[in-house]
Amino acid sequence: MLIDFFYTLRAAKLPVSVKELLTLLEALDKGLAGPRSEDAWSLDDFYFLARICLVKDEKLFDKFDQAFGAYFKGMEMLTDWKKELPEDWLKQVLQKELSAEEKAAIEAMGWDELMETLKKRLEEQKGRHEGGSKWIGTNGTSPFGHGGYNPAGVRIGGPGKSRSAVKVWEQRAYRDYDDTQELGTRNIKVALRRLRRFAREGNELELDLPDTIRATAANAGYLDIKMVPERHNHVKVLLLMDVGGTMDDHIQRVEELFSAVKTEFKHLEFYYFHNCVYDYMWKNNKRRYAEKFPTWDIIRKYNKDYKLIFVGDATMSPYEVLQAGGSVEYNNEEPGAEWLKRLTHAFPKHAWINPEPQGVWQYRQSISLIQQLVGDRMFPLSLKGLEDTMRLLSK
């Protein structure tokens, strides 16, 4: 029983043992998955019981969810977010494709006009709308809804399409980058080693062979062992990583980088942000609303000895960088640009690593804005880009 499920989890590189599988079977036998329905456990009950028995670290929850979904095709939704708008309003019936000329003819509203118009629509609209240019709906050119096209709108419900929304009306769940990800190439680690400064400090843990030979010879052949503190990389790194949204396209490469950084640098601190840095960051995406770390506290906690490295695609609405309240998730009191200036001033040795191909940077206004704010210290996530980053930070 559940042998195929066990091998599915192992294939997903989850560290699941036979003992843990037996624990799950014993729990099922004792009825810990909840009441039976027609001689079968409910999928929700089994999911939570299996996760408790088989997953030892919450950072592996995402891998478990993917493997669980792959094995139990047609899995029920485990979380039902409450929606303030009627679900029927946002039901997508057909897909509408616009030509390049039609897209160019659609005018984007300014920030104040966009927010004021959304407020009026919420007061006036009484029913569902499909394919139009005014009401909250789907598949149209209205700046409110989803599934359609507008160069700068508020996405409400449903998946993103053109990735040009300046505000998102939903609670999204991101996942932590997995620092156990196996590297596709060790060249990343080799590039990071350019940023090293070794120092001997701490307990005497390492044999000093040359000094032991010299001391033994000077002691008429009697063994005189000499020890020295073990050498460690003394460089301190503060890593700030963009997560969610367009960064989902770069998860594997960023996880490889994250794994290498955790291996190479003993003094590493990391935090997550979404799109642009604002007044707080977080360390665990599942608790990002409950465990917030004020950006001011981070600036005060770490001194100028830390090398600051941003990792993000810098792909967002320009409002998110320049406008108070411009964040897609909440009304930030100060623009992201102000926080970037404070961070780069607090940590003079800083750089931004961008996983987006360098050839598209010139076509995205937000990337140009971020480049200016970090003093043109933006490098691509490539071998040469990493080498250039480490060379700059080591000066």
CATH of the domain at 320: 3.40.50
State the pLDDT at residue 305. Answer: 87
Mean pLDDT of 136-150: 56
Same domain membership, residue 158 and residue 239? no
- Which is more confidently placed, 83 or 218? 218
Say what the pLDDT of residue 46 is. Answer: 83
Q: Provide the pLDDT confidence category of residue 212 given band limits of 50, 70 and 90.
A: confident
Cβ distance 275 to 245 under 8 Å? yes
Residue, of 242 and 6, whose pLDDT is higher: 242
Most confident listed range (142-156, 185-199, 356-370): 356-370
Q: How does residue 209 score in pLDDT terms, banded at 50, 70 and 90?
A: confident
* Containing structural domain, residue 93: 87-169
**Percentage of the chain exceeding pLDDT 90:** 22
Average pLDDT over residues 107-129: 62
Q: Are residues 227 and 269 in the same domain?
A: no
pLDDT, tens digit (0-9, with 9 covering 90-100), for 277-329: 999 999 988 888 889 999 999 999 999 889 999 999 999 888 899 989 888 88
Looking at the structure, do residues 238 and 387 belong to the same domain, yes or no? yes
- The pLDDT of residue 240: 95
- Are residues 250 and 381 both part of a single domain? yes
Per-residue pLDDT tens for 51-98? Answer: 888 888 877 887 888 888 777 764 433 333 333 555 555 555 444 555
Whether 241 and 292 map to the same domain: the answer is yes
- Same domain, residue pair 240 and 299: yes
Do residues 292 and 372 share a domain?
Answer: yes
Domain assignment present for 181: no
Report yes or no on 179 lying in a domain. Answer: no
- DSSP at 285: G
Q: Provide the 8-state DSSP code for 339.
A: H
Structural domain includes residue 79? no
| Amino acid 382: pLDDT | 86
Q: How many domains does the chain have?
A: 4
Which of 65-74, 173-182, 335-344, 378-387 shows the highest mean pLDDT? 335-344
| Confidence check: pLDDT of 196 > 50 | yes
Residues found in the chain: 395
Q: Looking at 17, 41, 71, which one is the last position of a domain?
A: 71
Query: Which tops the pLDDT comparison, 159 or 15?
Result: 15
Cα of first residue to Cα of last residue in the chain, in angstroms, is 60
Q: Is residue 182 part of a domain?
A: no
For residue 193, pLDDT beyond 60: yes
Residues 36 and 120 in one domain: no
Determine, yes or no, domain membership for 92. Answer: yes
Distances (CA, A) of 298 to 177, 311, 373: 20, 17, 19
Mark whether 350 and 277 lie in a shared domain: yes
227 and 268 in a common domain: no
Three-state secondary structure string covering 337-390: HHHHHHHHHHCCCEEEEECCCHHHHHHCHHHHHHHHHCCCCEEECCHHHHHHHH
Q: Which residues contact 179 (CB under 8 A, 6 or more apart)?
A: 59, 255, 258, 259, 262
Q: Residue 322 corresponds to which tokens in the numbers above?
A: 């320049």
Say which DSSP state 182 is in.
P
Same domain, 148 and 207: no
Indicate if 309 and 221 belong to the same structural domain: no
- Is the Cβ–Cβ distance between 188 and 260 less than 8 Å? yes
Q: What is the pTM of this model?
A: 0.53
